[in-house]
Structure 1
Amino acid sequence: MKLQVAIDRTDLETAEAMIEEIKESADIIEIGTSLIKDYGLDRSVAYFRKRFPEQCFLADIKTCDEGAYEFRKTYEAGGDIPTVMGFSSVTTIRACADVAREFGKEYMIDLLEVPAERIRVLGEAFPEAVFCIHLPSDRQGEGLAELVRSSVRELSGVRKIAAAGGVTLDTVPLLKECGIEIGIVGSAITKSGNKRETAARFAGAVRM
């Protein structure tokens, strides 16, 4: 299992300092939607790519239209894994998949508020994608276990599944039990008093 750390709703300097602290523990660092909106791809994704050239960066652009254009721009900026929303049209997601294939890169389909039947359809249509089971952050982790279990059932045959939304050290065993490949952690690390130590604890738990 891999650890993805989401950095969002902060300024560029603070984000850079966080990456410096957690980079040894994080397999993937997520450049959050707000950072990209506040600073644009050039000053967020492209900047961090130059600053940390060996790091894997997920760019949470949350594409829902203009898939080919937005994905191409993100890859050109240095992003490794852009995101497209699962409620987007299949045509849009397919355009994203085509650009990902062109660049030889991965992409993530975000399943935020996507119903079970739609999840099943997407899993069958895009089995090569990384699918993110995503509990809304406003839920504060409530219902994560049920959501993960039900969504994994619909994603039979999918190679890579991530989970986000209130992931804690206590929920890591559940994610591993369900076959989740990527655990996405945000404030549990980024708001901790010792980010380096907390990230290391999560890394140890997911890789154990």
Structure 2
Amino acid sequence: MKLQLALDLVDIQGAIELVKEVEEHVDVVEIGTPVVINEGLRAVKELKAAFPNLTVLADLKIMDAAGYEVGQASAAGADIITILGAAEDESIKGAVAEAKKLGKQILADMIAVKDIAARAQQLDELGVDYICVHTGYDLQAVGKNSFEDLSTIKSVVKHAKTAVAGGIKLETLPEVIKQQPDLVIVGGGITGKEDKKAAAREMQALIKQG
């Protein structure tokens, strides 16, 4: 089980400062979609240059032209690139093929997927590396979480690793750990804290205990 830090509401310099605080307690740094929209793939490039030993995920939420976009993110230094689980099968295949060629990984984000079990099974067969259950900001605002969907995915997936994102905090982390996802993705649960390093350290300790 690894801890991924999601960076959404920062600029490049802010992201670098934040990661400096917590780098020894996280495994993956995610350049969130808002950062990519605001700063472009330069954000991925600069974070990878600043922290070459950390795994960097580019949260592009690819929907089309997947092979090309994976290639661009890879050239910028991304180790893992996200595609939407709702994308066409041809797009998923294109993303997976390009990533394999470049030695990168694909995470399929299940945000807005209606039939989680069926789609997870298909994505697993299409060869994605991770399948991520994700309660987005807009659903978190009305009290939803992804923990139930995680157990659904774990019950059908044979090859892909699993990831969970959306509103995970120190208080809810034990519930997540029980289901043993491969990747636990935390944003505000770390970035919103006064002492970010302490929050990341506590979360990492819980994850390591498993």
TM normalised by structure 2 equals 0.92
Cα deviation code 1:105-164 (max 9, x no counterpart): 2111111121222222222222x5111111122232623322222232232x13410000
Q: 1:135 to 1:59 in 2, by over 3 A?
A: same
Q: In structure 2, how many angstroms separate the alpha carbons of the residues matched to 1:204 and 1:163?
A: 18
Q: Give the aligned partner of residue 200 of structure 2.
A: 199
Letter in 1 for 2:38: D
Q: In structure 1, how many angstroms separate the alpha carbons of the residues matched to 2:91 and 2:147?
A: 30
CA-CA distance at 1:69 after TM superposition: 0.6
Q: In structure 2, how many angstroms separate the alpha carbons of the residues matched to 1:118 and 1:145?
A: 17
> Which sections of structure 1, spanning at least 5 residues, go unmatched?
none
Q: Give the aligned partner of residue 130 of structure 1.
A: 130
Letter in 1 for 2:189: A
> Which sections of structure 2, spanning at least 5 residues, go unmatched?
none
Q: Structure 1 residues 144-153 or 97-106, which shifts more? A: 144-153
Q: Structure 1 residues 106-115 or 71-80, which shifts more? A: 106-115
Cα deviation code 1:30-80 (max 9, x no counterpart): 0111111111112x0111111111111000011100101100000011011
Q: Give the aligned partner of residue 90 of structure 1.
A: 89
Q: Secondary structure at the match of 1:112?
A: coil
Residues 135 and 147 of structure 1 are in contact (CA less than 8 Å); yes or no, is this contact kept in structure 2?
no
Residues 132 and 164 of structure 1 are in contact (CA less than 8 Å); yes or no, is this contact kept in structure 2?
yes
- The two structures, once aligned, show a CA RMSD in angstroms of 1.4
Q: Give the aligned partner of residue 2 of structure 2.
A: 2
Q: In structure 1, how many angstroms separate the alpha carbons of the residues matched to 2:66 and 2:146?
A: 29
Q: Is 2:20 the partner of 1:20? A: yes
Q: 1:137 to 1:158 in 2, by over 3 A?
A: farther
Q: Secondary structure at the match of 1:29?
A: strand
Q: Give the aligned partner of residue 184 of structure 2.
A: 183
TM normalised by structure 1 equals 0.93
Q: Structure 1 residues 116-125 or 69-78, which shifts more? A: 116-125
Q: In structure 1, how many angstroms separate the alpha carbons of the residues matched to 2:164 and 2:87?
A: 19
Q: Is 2:103 the partner of 1:104? A: yes
Q: Secondary structure at the match of 2:57?
A: strand
Q: In structure 2, how many angstroms separate the alpha carbons of the residues matched to 1:168 and 1:131?
A: 21
Q: Secondary structure at the match of 1:87?
A: coil
Cα deviation code 1:82-117 (max 9, x no counterpart): 100001011011111011111112111111121222
Identity rate of aligned residues, in percent? Answer: 31
Q: Secondary structure at the match of 1:23?
A: helix
Counterpart of 1:152 (choices 143, 151, 154) is 154
Q: Secondary structure at the match of 2:159?
A: coil
Q: Give the 5 Å matches for 1:28-43.
A: 28-42=28-42
Q: Structure 1 residues 48-57 or 116-125, which shifts more? A: 116-125
CA-CA distance at 1:189 after TM superposition: 0.3
